[in-house]
Amino acid sequence: MNEESRAVAESYDYTVSEYVASEPRLAAVDHAPPIPDYLQDTYWWAYLHPKALHFFEREWVVNLILWGNMRKLTQAVLGDLNVQPNSNVLQVACVYGEFSSLLAGHLASNGSKLELVDVAPIQLQNAREKLAGHQNVGFHHQDSSALAFPAAKFDQTVVFFLLHEQPEDVRRKTIAEAIRVTRPGGKVIFVDYHGPRRSNPFRYVMKLVLTWLEPFAMDLWRQELPAFMPDSVRPEQLQSEFYFGGLYQKIILTV
């Protein structure tokens, strides 16, 4: 384990051996991922700065950012998390508010586990504190575009509002990795922005906000999400739902 991995382990309040045990490949590979450039350059104020956590880590703030749709979109994911007892579910990237807590509680009811990945140590530490009351959650310091998990490890995978934050090449890798680590017959659930209908009055304000603050998000307005999926994905594997006049989408991919 290199110094960076050791520092991360200590910052999580794990013992180093607990950390290695939770992610066995760390023992063999020094792969603690660096913070990606787009996260550092474009999103430092939202996810990396300690004051960001104080501001954003409230359900009402994330609900406001999603125009009151946070609970509805969370329920849309929970409704599709109908896993068998003792299943493993992956959440790719932390989410502010109660999202992970609701997922963990839902999965605990039938003995299933939630594994949570994030590339930012400060976000993982925050999630550990926030989810301390849940015994069925694991934490992994990994980059979504190069996951360290073996193929087909998870029964379901959830990617909630991550793809719009990533440049196209990273987004494509994240999608491919989410599919790779989900078992055949399992589901990958993507929830993210989408180009709203022309009649949607939020269209114009959101175009300004996203262009200013979240420049990669406009990709998801211009193209449908399947355009960023591997060529091997067939249309019959996909099921789409749209919310709030088309501003949000949920796509379920059956692997």
Q: Which residues bind ligand SAM (CB under 6 A)?
A: 36, 39, 47, 62, 93-96, 117-120, 123, 143-145, 160-162, 165
Burial 54-64 (b: 16+ CB within 10 A, else e): eebbeeeebbe
Q: Least distance (Å) from ligand SAM to the CB of residue 214?
A: 9
Least CB distance from residue 33 to ligand SAM, whole Å? 7
Report CA dihedral (196, 188, 144, 123) to the nearest 10 degrees. 80
- Which C-beta is closer to ligand SAM: that of 117 or that of 225? 117
**Nearest residue (CB) to ligand SAM, 143 versus 155:** 143
Rounded to the nearest whole angstrom, what is the least distance from the CB of residue 161 to ligand SAM in the complex? 4
The whole-angstrom separation of Cα 215 and Cα 252 is 25
Burial of 41 (0-12, 13-18, 19+ CB in 10 A): exposed
Nearer to ligand SAM, 103 or 117 (CB): 117
Question: In this complex, which beta carbon is closest to ligand SAM, that of residue 9 or of residue 66?
Answer: 66
What is the rounded CA–CA span in Å between residue 162 and residue 87? 23
Angstrom CA distances, 213 to 20, 129, 174, 203, stand at 37, 28, 21, 15
Q: Name residue 113's beta-bridge partners.
A: 88
Residue 174 beta carbon to ligand SAM: minimum distance, rounded to whole angstroms = 7
The CB-of-234 to ligand SAM minimum distance in angstroms stands at 26
Decide whether 87 or 123 has the Cβ nearer to ligand SAM: 123
